[in-house]
Amino acid sequence: MTDILRRTGLALGLPLVLFVVWWVTSAGSENFFLPPLADILAAFTATWTADRFAADVLPSLVRLAAGYAIAAVLGIALGVLVGSLPRVRAAFEPVLEFLRAIPPPVLVPILMLIAGIGDGMKVAVIVSGCVWPILLNTVEGVRAVDPVLADTCRSYGIGGAARLRHLVLRSASPQMVAGLRQALSLGIILMVISEMFAASTGLGFTIIQFQRSFAIPEMWSGIILLGLTGFALSLIFKFFEARVLAWYHGLRRAERGRS
Amino acid sequence: MSTIMGDATATTGLPEGQAPDTAQRSRRLAPATWPYGLLGLLVFAAVLEVVPRLGLVPERYLPPMSRIVAALAEEAASPALWTAVGETMKAWAIGLAIAVAAAVLVGVIIGSVPFLLAATSSTIEFLRPIPSVALIPLAVLMYGTGIESTLMLVIYASFWQVLIQVLYGVQDVDPVAMDTARSYRLGRFGRIRHVTWPTALPYIVTGVRLAAAVALVLAISGELIIGSPGLGHEISQAQSGGAVAVMYALVVVTGLIGVLINLVFRMVERRLLAWHTSVRGEAV
């Protein structure tokens, strides 16, 4: 019991201290850019009403989800293909290395040119940025399949879909999840950037709009909402990872315990 | 529960950096693969040339490869491009350096004191996933379109990348090695220097390599959105001016910079960690 209390205390202590410090130091702040925290929180509840949520936050999240899902399917499918064929991999590697090295935000102006400033452009930006970490990590994971397991599969005559599902995807999944995790934080960044660069709705657009109209407490509340969104998405991802990779983490722990 | 979670995240933090057996295999294959790679690049370039020429994609969206290369050559002859590259690299280098120094210092301190680690982990877990681009409006208000705005984004984004790796690394210290150092009466500083640092170094180097890529992304985003001078700004100007070939040429430049940064950091990694098993194995 005391252990639980101690741990909650440790987990909540610093955030609480920081919150109080922010509250106290900003109270009665005359600085136009750093309004009192009380004002920001008041603006938060006033600004992010259900209507606003449906009009601005939801479209952003839907675009992110769509782009992320497409990138995941595309990245894993291509990654498995490229990873299991050594010659194809050799041919693709330099091109992929180059395409990955292009900072994804520069694609915003390009895709804007091609797809306008609608939803399609934003989803395309998210896809074209998120696909690389997923693709390259999948290639690495597929390539690193344990040769003993691969041989075992072959001697048992396991091939085709069963081999793909039970051997290739399974043993590459830790790498894939690592790629998916990188892609998620990239996806959030791209969602915001694509909206900041050109949009008429969305979280990024709204925040920039507040900043341009000098609605400072509202702007701060938007930044906080964006932060909370990032935090919530990473929590969901952690939950997903703990479920999908439970076998892997157990394996790692057992190996560590033994060595 | 918290130790289990800590362990779980620590192990998945690793796979990006340390894959000795795959590295070894690629090394063995290396001499035979480069013709395929060259072929791949040539085919890629040919597709980019042919697709717009055949009209599959209108030329005003995607000019043929040869026009992009011509624009690149023209740009390369003008000092404007090199100033922009210089500005971008300046923001990248300064931001990365500050972030790495701060993250290593903070990480080693927090990581070596169990109480601090327990007290800060919830805060770190909260602050880390906040997308750094959320700071753009704040940066614009505080610093306008100067380099400081971009620096702020670069530092925020790269700081967490490195800090997390440092924390994993510091926690990965072998308890036996630590006890041995203690029985040899190494002081706190001596233990950090001779036990903690070598253990954490591979993690730190991985963190810095990841941060270097992220820093470039954020430097370019900052320039693109905020408009501080640099390649990102040039790209958005080329786009709004309708100079499509120039825009693509600039994008190619950013890609080349990215590749270069990757290559340099991989080389540094091999040099710095020549003693480490993951690299030693590769050389055999």
Ordered domains of chain B (ranges, CATH): 63-283 (1.10.3720.10)
Q: Given a cut of 60, is residue B25 above it in pLDDT?
A: no
What does the pLDDT average to over B248-273?
A: 90
Q: Given a cut of 70, is residue B10 above it in pLDDT?
A: no
Q: How many domains does chain A have?
A: 1
CB contact under 8 A, B262 and A97: yes
- Which of A13, A91, A185 is the closest to B129 by Cβ? A185
Q: Given a cut of 80, is residue B33 above it in pLDDT?
A: no
Q: Provide the pLDDT for residue B3.
A: 34
Does residue A11 fall inside a structural domain?
A: no
Does residue A24 fall inside a structural domain?
A: no
What does the pLDDT average to over B199-215?
A: 89
Question: Nearest CA of chain A to the CA of B204: how many Å?
Answer: 18
Q: Provide the pLDDT for residue A254.
A: 80
Please, are residues B159 and B102 in contact by the beta-carbon 8 Å criterion? yes
CB contact under 8 A, B61 and A113: yes
What does the pLDDT average to over A55-61?
A: 86
On the 0-12 / 13-18 / 19+ scale of CB atoms within 10 A, A26 is: middle
Alpha carbon of B126 to those of A11, B8, B185, B271: distances in Å?
11, 18, 38, 35
Q: Given a cut of 70, is residue B8 above it in pLDDT?
A: no
CB contact under 8 A, A231 and B130: yes
Condensed to tens digits (0 to 9), the pLDDT of residues B145-204 reads 888 889 999 999 999 989 988 988 888 888 888 889 999 998 888 888 888 888 888 888
Helical H runs in chain A? 2-26, 37-47, 50-52, 58-84, 86-101, 107-115, 119-143, 147-155, 160-163, 170-197, 203-212, 216-244, 246-258
Condensed to tens digits (0 to 9), the pLDDT of residues B101-123 reads 999 999 988 888 888 888 888 88
Does residue A29 fall inside a structural domain?
A: no
What does the pLDDT average to over A177-201?
A: 85
Instruction: State the CB neighbour count (10 A cutoff) for residue B199.
Output: 17
Query: In chain A, positions 93-122, which contact chain B (CB-CB < 8 Å)?
Result: 93-95, 97-110, 112-114
- Which of B133, B244, B258 is the closest to A102 by Cβ? B258
Does residue A154 fall inside a structural domain?
A: yes
Q: Position of tokens 């890629």?
A: B44
Condensed to tens digits (0 to 9), the pLDDT of residues A83-115 reads 888 888 888 888 888 888 888 888 888 888 777
Interface mutation vs chain B, best among A40, A106, A140, A219, most B CBs within 10 Å? A106
Q: Provide the pLDDT for residue B32.
A: 65
B50 band by pLDDT with thresholds 50, 70 and 90: confident
A66 band by pLDDT with thresholds 50, 70 and 90: very high
Contacts of B135 in chain A (CB under 8 A): 223
Average pLDDT of chain A is 85
Number of residues in chain A: 259
Condensed to tens digits (0 to 9), the pLDDT of residues A139-148 reads 888 888 888 8
Among all residues of chain B, which has the CA nearest to that of A97?
Answer: B259
Q: Given a cut of 80, is residue B57 above it in pLDDT?
A: no
Between CA B74 and CA A50 the distance in angstroms is: 53
Question: Nearest CA of chain A to the CA of B73: how many Å?
Answer: 19
Q: Provide the pLDDT for residue B15.
A: 40
Among all residues of chain A, which has the CA nearest to that of B21?
Answer: A144
- Which of A99, A103, A140 is the closest to B216 by Cβ? A103
What does the pLDDT average to over B121-126?
A: 83
- A7 and chain B: CB distance < 8 Å anywhere? yes
- Residues with Cβ within 8 Å of A27's Cβ and at least 6 positions away in sequence, in order, are A36, A37, A38
Q: Given a cut of 60, is residue B239 above it in pLDDT?
A: yes
Q: Which domain holds residue A101?
A: 36-258
Q: Given a cut of 90, is residue A2 above it in pLDDT?
A: no
Does residue A23 fall inside a structural domain?
A: no
Does residue A15 fall inside a structural domain?
A: no
Does residue A14 fall inside a structural domain?
A: no
Interface mutation vs chain A, best among B3, B27, B126, most A CBs within 10 Å? B126
CATH code of residue A75 = 1.10.3720.10
- Residues with Cβ within 8 Å of B70's Cβ and at least 6 positions away in sequence, in order, are B245
Does residue A190 fall inside a structural domain?
A: yes
